[in-house]
Structure 1
Amino acid sequence: MLAQKRLVALSAALLLSTAGAHAAESFNRIASFPVALNAPDAEATSSEIITASEDGMTLIYSDSPGGGIGFVDITEPGAPKPAGYLPLEGEPTSVAIIGDKAYVGVNTSESYTAPSGKLVIVDIATQSVDAEHALGGQPDSVARNKDGTLIAIAIENERDEELGDGGLPQMPAGFLVIFDVEAATLKTVDVTGLADVFGEDPEPEFVDFNDNDEIALTLQENNTIVVIDGKTAEVTGRFSAGTASVSDVDTKRDGALRFEGSMSDVPREPDSVKWLDADRIVIANEGDWNGGSRGFSILSRTGEVLFDSGNELDHTAATLGHYPEHRNKKGVEPEGLEVATFGDTQYIFVAEERSSLIAVYKDTGADPEFVQALPSGISPEGVVAIPARNLIATANEADLREDGGVGSHVMVYEMTDGEASYPQLVSDLDADGRPIGWAAISGAVADAEQSGLLYAVSDSVFHAQPAIYTIDATAMPARIIKKTVITRNGDAAQKLDVEGITLDGEGGFWLASEGDSAKLVPHALYHVDADGAIQAEVPFPAAVLGGEKRFGAEGIARTGEGDDETLWVAIQREWGDDPVGQVKLLAYKPASATWGAVAYPLETPAEGAWVGLSEITIHGDFAYIVERDNQIGDKAALKALYRVPLTDLVSAELGSALPVVSKELVRDFIPDLAATNGYVLDKVESFAIDADGVGYAITDNDGVDDASGETMFWSIGAL
């Protein structure tokens, strides 16, 4: 019951955080910096651990795949600039700054069994190496103390996850190194024999100093935290991170969001650790080996659990459409942490690698208070706060450019008075007090009578539980208030990839499903009642399927009544029988079960891109059509709304020369997509016009699969 009460409070906080008059201060993203600008010739580049110069004007991040560190000028934080890149011989894992020097842990290991590494000291102004110190093993986290006199380095000597069952022990053992900055000397701290789990093979992961020069060190796979006196290098404490039990979580990767599972006595296996004060620490429970408790915890310096977030992070991500169902063994996977004081308030920032969110909490001294969740690129790894400038920055490690995705980004946020700009769409709790899980919005239609009421559908990401979502667009943020599962003979319908929805005029809906013969998913239309039960299936005719390609139906709209009722279906890309640069708008008349089509002229794609349709909706005398390219970020060139006169929608017989409709541009969506200062998202897949003529657009977040999970929902006003 306590967990459910906290979830209700969290849901209320999500609404209040964007509710203008209620919001005092919020963090909002003000810039996104693609780190490839620092290394334009590199095949892959990543920002992982990030820190800031003491004046707060420069960010420095470690780039493991690129083999160097990158510099970002944030003198104007809303307009970051590339400021240089320093290649280092090895794999940088972490970086800390003292004065005008950067201290970089660099992995130079030949193998898992022969680990090695070094501490590289870099002059920030000249971006040159001043000195190197051998560490005797593979470094992971690097941290400095408050006075800038000591550096602590966690020497992980990481395990080979492909060896045997990927478990422990795998020698050699890890340890801790303390570097005296003034004397330039190293002390090695033996941490073997301290953990209850494979104590002979400690796996140091993350370090942090408190103001008394005490070091908290996580031994992740050993599920242990060690406290070390940084001045004497003596171990002064050790304790297990313990276990946690979570309920109402999604534990199955089955193409459905069902928060009905539980996990008992799961090791926390913390990654990051931060001191909250001299007596409390906070840990991010990544669960890298046997763990998966999915949360963060606050512990006393002797190991007493003062707070555990339980399922809060998972549930919050689910209400925001960010829950990673396709890889949910560890839920949202809390990994990175930052603790900083802005004004009189200390905040905890939790980086969630798999949901691509930063959860922001106020440290109250007791149970922390949820503030907001920030969208953060793909796979946030590092977070740094710059309170003197009211800024935080995140390093998001995924580089998906090789597969046509977006590259790694550094994102900058500012605390200001006023409302939060994200989220723009959230879900309510269901009747059992669990979140209405959602993602991958792929089509929408508005209610015929009630203004601001929309119905949207999910695509094949949730193939085991396709659904219709009812959205209250008048709320701020917009709210999913109901989820209706699409069923066949009483069970959740299979073999659907729903990409379009329109009203049937009788309280139900027509759905358009994009087929894929390779997966035995038919190209078809489905008639469902108000409860989502399939009443009829209409397969595409042979005259259409003869030119079949995978990119099929991407929207459906309805005109007319009775014998004149026509369903217009937008086909995304050219099929085999289409002229280059033209796609079909299929026309199906239910009364006569006949098909026809017209041709729609596509814009010319940029080199290496394609252009296709994403949505069709009809309002007044026009059909409104979303046309877009398949590009993301700075390569995105076309995301736009066009309209076609209904007088042009006079279908011809399939197989004949199709009449080509005329079109005119209504709105360029790229400025809308750039409005929240992230990179331009690629999939504007839904557009609906409500009873008052107000247009609403929604992006598809691909179910957080190789995507940031960010969903944009906005109105373009009355048409």
Structure 2
Amino acid sequence: MAFDVGMDLEYRLARIGHTNDRRNDAKGNEPENVAFGRFGSTDYLFVASERSSVVAVYDMSQPTAPVYKQALPGALSPEGLVTIPSRGLMVSASEMDDRGLPARAAFNIYAYQKAAPAYPTIQSADRADGKPIPWAALSGMVAAPSGSTVYAVDDSFFRANRIFTVDVGVTPAVIRSELRITDANDVLKTFGATLPAARDNQAFDQTDVAAMINADKTVNLDPEGISLASAGGFWIASEGAGSKTAYETGRNITSANLLLRVSAAGVIQEVVTLPDAVNALQARYGFEGVAESNGKLVVAMQRAWLGETMPRIAVYDLTAKTWQFHFYPLDPATSPNGGWVGLSEITALGNNRFLVVERDNQNGPDARIKRLYRIDLTGAADGSTLTKTLVRDLMPDLRATRGPVLEKIEGLAVLASGEVLFVTDNDGVNDSSGETQLVRLGRILN
């Protein structure tokens, strides 16, 4: 044996969001194949990680002491590797393609060049023990009032949800810290106790809420949106649970779409839920983003609920504690693979105006709709259908990586400087390439 990499590669992939958490008790990132090539005067070894979907690059100038250089996003499960030094290229190929998976296989062609790596676009700093903060599945973002800090949340892929503090003033952006969301004061537990002990599948009950609270009082929610709270801390939008079968057959399902105010320490302070009459219409695909503005919480709901043809923009008055609802007209699905179109994020612009992300559930060659729209709620009556204005087609931005177009734009933030950012959700590297792209759009709102 010339060299034992030990846990080094696992930690490096955790730092860039590529840890396949569901494989940690089996083969980890599962290096599946290697290829060697001399580029310029340097020998390189390329290591294909099947489960984490990256190709790790090592400088082999000293064969008994390889030096890690970078990770290349490898589409879904790269396994075949070929180096072509005469053309300055390395090619990877996915192991298999499955039309039923969210991500698709691909050939990736990489060119040798003397430049800073284009990937990752976001990585984590170390915990106190010297190991990187593990992360994945970023699903919502909001900018701090000033500077270059944004806050992000991970979604239901993980069973103890966190709020991340991200420094986007550097490239790549850096997750500086993590904060566990907890029910330390039993606020969520008390809310659950106000519900019936057990109900049929038409409404959530004590059992459903109890399942959201772990033994150590961390919480198992589905955070899909985050906003700064004027009272301090954050608002978290948690999407209700449900099954695809229940949605498609038109039955109401057990679900809990919740808004939770948490302190700056991550402790739940308040729980807000929808009116019973609206909950009675619940189906899969609920809360997808939240923004506090002018004393109100504005929530984007991903898709239409039972008996409706458009998703709702829900508005909760924090003082009156009342709800209003508007309907959002989605673009029709145009992908050759069919699928659906829905909302996946909302961000406040001030003066009752908001940015929303509208996207289809397709990726790679099937993706067609990834768009940023502006809506204005000024004077909008309860029950009205909103008008939207296209701000930017995001497909060119996603294609700019020259890799597969990623499906899930889940986080959106507008910095105090006016710069707009979005981030993709990598689904915890579960049937996904694991690639996360934090894309900087610049001051596109000027």
Shorter-chain TM range is 0.7 to 0.9
Deviations 1:418-441 (A, max 9, x none): 222111010111111111011101
2:433 equivalent to 1:708: yes
Tell me which residue corresponds to 1:358. 55
Tell me which residue corresponds to 2:27. 330
Give the match's secondary structure for 2:297.
strand
Tell me which residue corresponds to 1:510. 235
Aligned counterparts of 1:531 and 1:521: Cα–Cα separation in 2: 27
1:484-633 to 2 correspondences below 5 Å: 484-489=179-184, 491-517=216-242, 522-560=256-294, 565-578=295-308, 580=309, 582-606=310-334, 608-621=338-351, 622-633=353-364
Shift of 1:409: 1.1
**Residue 410 of structure 2 aligns to which amino acid in structure 1?**
E
1:269-418 to 2 correspondences below 5 Å: 299=1, 306-328=2-24, 329-365=26-62, 366-403=64-101, 405-418=102-115
Give the match's secondary structure for 1:322.
coil
Aligned counterparts of 1:641 and 1:514: Cα–Cα separation in 2: 21
Give the match's secondary structure for 1:408.
coil
**Residue 30 of structure 2 aligns to which amino acid in structure 1?**
E
Give the match's secondary structure for 1:647.
coil
Counterpart pick for 1:431 among 120, 128, 142: 128
Between the two proteins, what is the percent identity of the paired residues? 43
**Residue 52 of structure 2 aligns to which amino acid in structure 1?**
S
Aligned counterparts of 1:342 and 1:693: Cα–Cα separation in 2: 42
Aligned counterparts of 1:659 and 1:567: Cα–Cα separation in 2: 17
2:424 equivalent to 1:699: yes
Q: Retained in 1: the 8 A contact 2:371–2:395?
A: yes
Deviations 1:31-89 (A, max 9, x none): xxxxxxxxxxxxxxxxxxxxxxxxxxxxxxxxxxxxxxxxxxxxxxxxxxxxxxxxxxx
**Residue 151 of structure 2 aligns to which amino acid in structure 1?**
Y
Tell me which residue corresponds to 2:153. 457
**Quick check: which has more Rg, 1 or 2?**
1
Q: Retained in 2: the 8 A contact 1:615–1:687?
A: yes
Aligned counterparts of 2:432 and 2:262: Cα–Cα separation in 1: 30
TM-aligned CA distance change 1:542 to 1:407, over 3 Å: same
Deviations 1:65-115 (A, max 9, x none): xxxxxxxxxxxxxxxxxxxxxxxxxxxxxxxxxxxxxxxxxxxxxxxxxxx
**Residue 378 of structure 1 aligns to which amino acid in structure 2?**
L
Q: Retained in 1: the 8 A contact 2:138–2:154?
A: yes
Tell me which residue corresponds to 2:208. none
1:154-233 to 2 correspondences below 5 Å: none
Tell me which residue corresponds to 2:248. none
Give the match's secondary structure for 1:551.
coil
TM-aligned CA distance change 1:651 to 1:429, over 3 Å: farther
**Residue 127 of structure 2 aligns to which amino acid in structure 1?**
D
Shift of 1:592: 2.3
Shift of 1:327: 2.2
Deviations 1:306-329 (A, max 9, x none): 321111111111111010002222
2:398 equivalent to 1:681: no
**Residue 488 of structure 1 aligns to which amino acid in structure 2?**
D
Q: Retained in 2: the 8 A contact 1:337–1:349?
A: yes
TM-aligned CA distance change 1:704 to 1:557, over 3 Å: same
Give the strand-richer structure, 1 or 2: 1
Aligned counterparts of 1:661 and 1:632: Cα–Cα separation in 2: 28
Deviations 1:204-229 (A, max 9, x none): xxxxxxxxxxxxxxxxxxxxxxxxxx
Aligned counterparts of 2:320 and 2:67: Cα–Cα separation in 1: 60
Aligned pair count?
Answer: 400
Aligned counterparts of 1:570 and 1:442: Cα–Cα separation in 2: 13
Tell me which residue corresponds to 1:476. 171
TM-aligned CA distance change 1:526 to 1:398, over 3 Å: farther
Q: Retained in 1: the 8 A contact 2:255–2:282?
A: no
Tell me which residue corresponds to 1:638. 369
Tell me which residue corresponds to 1:11. none
Shift of 1:417: 2.1
Aligned counterparts of 1:454 and 1:473: Cα–Cα separation in 2: 7
Please list every run of 5 or more consecutive structure 2 residues that lacks an aligned counterpart in the other structure.
186-215, 244-252
Aligned counterparts of 1:544 and 1:388: Cα–Cα separation in 2: 64
Aligned counterparts of 1:641 and 1:425: Cα–Cα separation in 2: 22
**Residue 387 of structure 2 aligns to which amino acid in structure 1?**
S
**Residue 333 of structure 1 aligns to which amino acid in structure 2?**
E
Q: Retained in 2: the 8 A contact 1:381–1:396?
A: yes
Shift of 1:577: 3.6
Deviations 1:559-615 (A, max 9, x none): 11xxxx10001000000142x2x2100011222221111111111112622110000
Q: Retained in 2: the 8 A contact 1:497–1:521?
A: no
Aligned counterparts of 1:620 and 1:538: Cα–Cα separation in 2: 23
Aligned counterparts of 1:407 and 1:422: Cα–Cα separation in 2: 20
Q: Retained in 1: the 8 A contact 2:60–2:67?
A: yes
Please list every run of 5 or more consecutive structure 1 residues that lacks an aligned counterpart in the other structure.
1-298, 300-305, 653-657
**Residue 59 of structure 2 aligns to which amino acid in structure 1?**
K
Give the match's secondary structure for 2:113.
strand
Aligned counterparts of 1:360 and 1:319: Cα–Cα separation in 2: 16
Shift of 1:397: 1.6
Q: Retained in 2: the 8 A contact 1:465–1:492?
A: no
When normalised by structure 2's length, the TM-score is: 0.87
Aligned counterparts of 1:417 and 1:434: Cα–Cα separation in 2: 29
**Residue 394 of structure 1 aligns to which amino acid in structure 2?**
S
Aligned counterparts of 1:379 and 1:713: Cα–Cα separation in 2: 22
**Residue 634 of structure 1 aligns to which amino acid in structure 2?**
P
Shift of 1:521: 5.5
TM-aligned CA distance change 1:517 to 1:542, over 3 Å: farther
Q: Retained in 1: the 8 A contact 2:181–2:219?
A: no
Aligned counterparts of 1:485 and 1:433: Cα–Cα separation in 2: 19
**What CA RMSD, in Å, does the superposition of the two structures yield over aligned residues?**
1.5
1:44-83 to 2 correspondences below 5 Å: none
Aligned counterparts of 1:554 and 1:369: Cα–Cα separation in 2: 42
**Residue 586 of structure 1 aligns to which amino acid in structure 2?**
A
Q: Retained in 2: the 8 A contact 1:377–1:411?
A: yes
Tell me which residue corresponds to 1:662. 387
Tell me which of the two structures has the higher relative contact order, counting C-alpha pairs closer than 8 angstroms and 6 or more residues apart. 2
